[in-house]
Structure 1
Amino acid sequence: MEPTTTIRIELENFMKQNGLNITQFGLVAGINPGTVSGIVTGNRTLSVHQLDRITATLGHPKGHFYKNYIEEFLNTATPNIRRVRPLLYHCAELDMFDCIEQVVNLLMENLAYADALFVIAEDFFKQGKFAASIILYESVAIGEKKQHSERLALCQYRIFMAKQGNDQEINYQAAIHFEDYVERLDDADQLDALKDLANAYLSTRKWNKLDEWTHKLERKAKIQYHLAHSREGKKKRIPKKTNRPLFYYVAYSNLLYACVCEEKGDYEQALKYTYAYADLSWVKENDKEAQHWIQLFKKWAQANIYTNKLLSGDATVIPDYLMLSQSSKDELPITLCNIVEAANRYHFNVDDILQRFELEIAEFIQHRLDTIYILQKTSDLLVLFLHELAKYHLVNSNFTNGFNYLIITLEKSATFNNKTFIIKCVGLFESFKKHATIGTETAYQNIIREVCERN
């Protein structure tokens, strides 16, 4: 909505209605009377700090006059970045993205502001203000488009990461768009970008893409690791460190390969890759950080060895698998999901396990996680787990629980825009449709109708 009155008019009206002169208003607002006079007469530029004081004094919420401020004070003169910076931060805090776009468009008429906007965008990204950061990164990227610069690639990397959330289609499209920019990043950022890109394809279950980018991650990581520990490489100055030790990226590529093999049902090959990242005796680093990751890989390997044995039909590993996973709250949902998936595949009964962990299952279904990677993994795991639970109960003629989980799976899949599991839910419902109550069928049809309208 466009401003209907100016800041000056509202200020003058307020002073008249309350019988205040310039000096009195200045005292109430905590602003120098000379400054107030200059604002009223139009002879003085208003700072964002002063605007916020005036806004509060007039009884309005913070940000009430920001649209006016942009129109009246920024549009009419060349914007000053020192004056604009606090406005951008305040708008980000208030989710006033339309105002951020207006300010950025004004600034980017002069490409000299690109450096300052990039710094602010990086700050927003670190603070988790992803929507605000995307606006700034996209503007800087447009200015860099013809340069094919590293900063253009870095902007696209940040945009890709900022868009990762619980909508699987958005995650996937952001990953596809980012692919062309990976090679333009410096060596350190490339490894982290390849890892994050692979994680995006893992969470969206794009297995061919995951395999393709895991190959690239492995190749780059091995080259970088060799250079870092060769005589020639040690002589060269390394300008930037990766977020994690170099060996991590080599080991993690084996973990991702194992995921691809597991999805294909090649559990023997998956175990080979798992044993590969379990044995990190080749790692030359021996500091505290290196030891931290080595121990984590060993822990993941131990759990995934049980996973692959279980999914290949060996139910004898379940007690040890559960004992291992109970030491980590984050691992238990994955373990239970794998157990139910194996039960569906090999037709063994796990009713006692589902009853034993009933509270933990309910908690996982309701739990919300906000970090980018955890959110990606959790949304995918949640719908997979719910689908397996629905299938398990329906196959075993527990139709009340089965349809309950199926409806929840469909709701979550629609929320996450997870088309793969929407289709799976439709197939599962149609297979057991004759056992559904009228209420269940109505709930099912309502969700399907919403999905169709959305798409």
Structure 2
Amino acid sequence: MGNITTIRSEVEKFMEDEKLSLSDLGRKTGLNVGTLSSIITGGKIMALNQLDRITALMKLPEGHFYDLYIQDNIAAAQPNWKRLKPFLFRCAEMNKLDFIQRIAGKLLDKVVYSPVLFDAAEELLQEGKKDAAAILYESVAVTEHSQHSERLALCQYRLFTIRLGDDQTKNLQAAAQFELYVERLDDIIQLDALKDLANVYRSLRKWDKVDKFAAQMGSKARRHYFAENRQKRGGEDPYAKLSRPLFVYVAYSDLLRGSACEERGESEQALEFISRYADLSWVKEYDEDTEHWKGLFLGWAKVNIYASKLSSGDFSALYDYVDYFEANKDEFLVSLLNVVDAANRFNVNIDRILLRFDSEIKSLGEQLKGTTIYDKRFKAERCSRLLHELSNYYLQKGEYVTGFTYLLDSLQKSFAINNKTIIIKCVSLFESFRDYAASDTQAAYQILFKEMYQNEKNHRFALSSH
């Protein structure tokens, strides 16, 4: 018996049990009697809204017949996209991802569906339905893998952004996979893609990668910005789809490259890059958005000059730096990390500064709220590092209770984002001062590692189950 016959037979049984005529069914569902007749007696495939209305009337769970509905629509030699699209979106609303996976899988060998599946994925992503969109992007990528199309590269770009989360190991995998496709994107779209790649590697502290992709972004952005004829293509401004004004990609390239130099101990080069984005007199635009961005870069240049001096052991401007980031809360987390890191490396007492920001330090978790995915990931990494540096500072001073409190907090946050670098540093620091750890501190330390082990074990089991 065909699947549509199964649905039809259940509807017929319902009508018989409830003593309903086609007219009664039409009145209760709001459907045309002629349409119902074609479905019940003529074997016509019903539309999704018709199925949902009949299902609701039968007091069955929403989606009760979806499994049969998929089989019936996919069985056709040329599946009807007008029926499948609303079904996909309904499944996304209901989070029935397995149904979306089944439909996408059935259409894999039909390249003709790639454009419409891609467009559907774009719509779903705009609506915030990332998991559903990812299934369609993956299907299109598989379908077009051998064609090396720009659509394939766009799918990989979207998947890259969707896959980013708190787990740094997974973020590294996502970035490494996307690297292979970034240069296949449209030249302008590449600017945001390169920015995103550089930002991810920045949060992972892969400074050579940061420098590489920031340099590529800067080179492309300069070429476009200083082109003699920046004409619109096809009557549209090709730069309108950028997430930031074009000049920002030039300046941001210098900022990222300066950060990479600073982290690699190349202070002179870092200062050279800082001087570039501190002076944006070459920018042609004068609108409000431009002035906003110019002000941001000027502030970043100022704070990074302070940080560069500290990094080289020059503490002459320490309190100017502190006053600046106290007045500019967005700079607090990174700036305080720079101060504590420098204090540890050069054995400088900063008790007065830490006391000054005691309440802010105790509420570091608030720093992660209300931020974008990139800001949150960057701040989470900095937060775990700051807590480790604070732990080191207090343990070296012999203030063991405070030191171990920060160490356990750093470990917990590092486990949450799978930051293996900080985990290893915390373990090394704990072992160096283990003899000074109270019994409850050692017990809490062991509990943290047991929880991490169990979480990893559960994660591996979940992966093996798929």
Shorter-chain TM-score range: 0.7 to 0.9
Aligned to 1:222: 222
Aligned to 1:440: 441
Asked if the contact 2:202/2:210 (under 8 Å) is kept, the reply is: yes
Residues 110, 391 of structure 1: CA spacing in aligned structure 2 closer, same or farther, 3 A cutoff?
same
Matches within 5 A, 1:237-386: 240-241=238-239, 242-366=242-366, 367-369=368-370, 371-386=372-387
Aligned to 2:163: 163
Residues 170, 44 of structure 1: CA spacing in aligned structure 2 closer, same or farther, 3 A cutoff?
same
Question: 1:408 is aligned with what amino acid?
Answer: D
Shift of 1:317: 3.3
Asked if the contact 2:168/2:418 (under 8 Å) is kept, the reply is: yes
Residues 64, 235 of structure 1: CA spacing in aligned structure 2 closer, same or farther, 3 A cutoff?
closer
Question: Within 2, Cα distance between the matches of 1:91 and 1:33?
Answer: 27
Aligned to 2:404: 403
Residue range with higher mean Cα deviation, 33-42 or 140-149 = 33-42
Question: Within 1, Cα distance between the matches of 2:7 and 2:30?
Answer: 17
For structure 2, the residue ranges without an aligned partner over 5 or more in a row are: 461-466
Asked if the contact 1:214/1:257 (under 8 Å) is kept, the reply is: yes
Question: 2:250 is aligned with what amino acid?
Answer: V
Deviations 1:120-140 (A, max 9, x none): 111222333222222111211
Question: 1:263 is aligned with what amino acid?
Answer: E
Question: 2:263 is aligned with what amino acid?
Answer: E
Deviations 1:391-421 (A, max 9, x none): 2232233323322222222222222122211
Residues 17, 154 of structure 1: CA spacing in aligned structure 2 closer, same or farther, 3 A cutoff?
same
Question: 1:191 is aligned with what amino acid?
Answer: L
Aligned to 2:130: 130
Question: Within 2, Cα distance between the matches of 1:236 and 1:127?
Answer: 28
Shift of 1:296: 1.6
What TM-score does the superposition give when structure 2 sets the normalisation length? 0.85
Question: 2:446 is aligned with what amino acid?
Answer: Q
Q: Secondary structure at the match of 1:187?
A: coil
Residue range with higher mean Cα deviation, 187-196 or 445-454 = 445-454
Residues 297, 58 of structure 1: CA spacing in aligned structure 2 closer, same or farther, 3 A cutoff?
farther
Question: Within 2, Cα distance between the matches of 1:420 and 1:99?
Answer: 40
Aligned residues: 449
Shift of 1:36: 4.7
Query: Does 2:183 correspond to 1:183?
Result: yes
RMSD, matched Cα: 3.0
Shift of 1:334: 2.2
Deviations 1:369-396 (A, max 9, x none): 5633223212222212222222223223
What TM-score does the superposition give when structure 1 sets the normalisation length? 0.87
Shift of 1:256: 0.8
Question: 2:155 is aligned with what amino acid?
Answer: C
Question: Within 2, Cα distance between the matches of 1:63 and 1:394?
Answer: 59
Q: Secondary structure at the match of 2:398?
A: coil
Asked if the contact 1:254/1:273 (under 8 Å) is kept, the reply is: yes
Aligned to 2:424: 423
Question: 1:240 is aligned with what amino acid?
Answer: P
Question: Within 2, Cα distance between the matches of 1:163 and 1:170?
Answer: 8
Residues 338, 67 of structure 1: CA spacing in aligned structure 2 closer, same or farther, 3 A cutoff?
farther
Question: 2:238 is aligned with what amino acid?
Answer: K
Matches within 5 A, 1:192-203: 192-203=192-203
Shift of 1:9: 5.8
Asked if the contact 1:118/1:137 (under 8 Å) is kept, the reply is: yes
Question: Within 2, Cα distance between the matches of 1:405 and 1:290?
Answer: 41
Q: Secondary structure at the match of 1:331?
A: helix
Asked if the contact 1:75/1:106 (under 8 Å) is kept, the reply is: no
Deviations 1:329-359 (A, max 9, x none): 4322222222222232233333444344344
Shift of 1:198: 0.9
Residues 77, 328 of structure 1: CA spacing in aligned structure 2 closer, same or farther, 3 A cutoff?
farther
Shift of 1:10: 5.5
Aligned to 2:67: 67
